[in-house]
Amino acid sequence: MSEDGGIALDLAFSADPGLAPDLVEAAVPWCAGPEAAEAHWQQLLAGWLQHLQAQLPPQLRAPAYSLGLSLVNDSEIAALNSDWRDKPGPTDVLAFAAQDNDLDGTPAMPLPPGHDALGLDGALELGDIVISLETAARQAPEHGHNLEQELLFLASHGLLHLLGWDHPDEASLAAMLQCQEELCSSVNVQASGSVAGQP
């Protein structure tokens, strides 16, 4: 647990340095300035993990978690999509779950030799979320979102996949989307890019 009694999160955040400056600017505070962006994402994801605790199976309930989040361009996510899912072209978000042996038919993310699901600090390793900033920017208007809202929507989708949610049918997809809406509605994205109302 963190010092305030909430969920502790060890987040490895990265943003591709080759992302278009106008996209980075539009994604502030979630992209610009690695340390500031990481702090925003860490607060958000830890709050979401806290919010979801009661819904998680016992093996995924933990006082501390570890995960990675990367914002990339279309070519990078297209390469991952091809390598891991045998699907051509870019996609919006990919989730590589460390705790799931069969995510979309792919094997679980390999852990380094000698490591189990709990890291050296006792944090439960969840895996990695990869989001294409370019795809997010293109599809945001289609979903009635600004870029910040689309990023949060995609991050919530990736996080739920890391926690075992899936959508093999319409009912499962509806339940997952409802949970995403709950998570996203717990965050008030201001026009200035500041965040209020964290869970």
The DSSP output letter for 117 is S
Per-residue pLDDT at 153 exceeds 70: yes
pLDDT in tens, 97-125: 998 654 444 444 444 444 444 444 679 99
Task: Write down the pLDDT at residue 101.
Answer: 54
Contact 142, 133 (CB under 8 A): no
pTM of the model: 0.83
Task: Write down the pLDDT at residue 190.
Answer: 38
Percentage of the chain beyond pLDDT 70 is 80
Task: Write down the pLDDT at residue 126.
Answer: 96
Q: How far apart are CA 38 and CA 69, in angstroms?
A: 9
Domain assignments of the chain as residue spans, ordered by start: 8-196
Whole-number Cα distances in Å, 89 to 21, 137, 151: 23, 16, 19
Q: How far apart are CA 133 and CA 155, in angstroms?
A: 11
Task: Write down the pLDDT at residue 5.
Answer: 63
Task: Write down the pLDDT at residue 73.
Answer: 97
The rounded mean pLDDT for the chain is 84
Beta bridge partners of 146: none
Report the 10 Å Cβ neighbour count for 74.
17
Task: Write down the pLDDT at residue 157.
Answer: 96
Task: Write down the pLDDT at residue 104.
Answer: 44
Question: In the chain, at which residue ranges do the beta strands (DSSP E only) sit?
Answer: 8-15, 64-72, 93-97, 124-132, 188-189, 195-196
pLDDT in tens, 20-48: 999 999 999 999 788 999 999 999 999 99
Assess whether the previous peptide bond of 199 is cis (omega < 30° from 0): no
CA 140 to chain centre: 16
Whole-number Cα distances in Å, 106 to 55, 81, 166: 24, 11, 13
What architecture does CATH give domain 8-196? 3-Layer(aba) Sandwich (3.40)
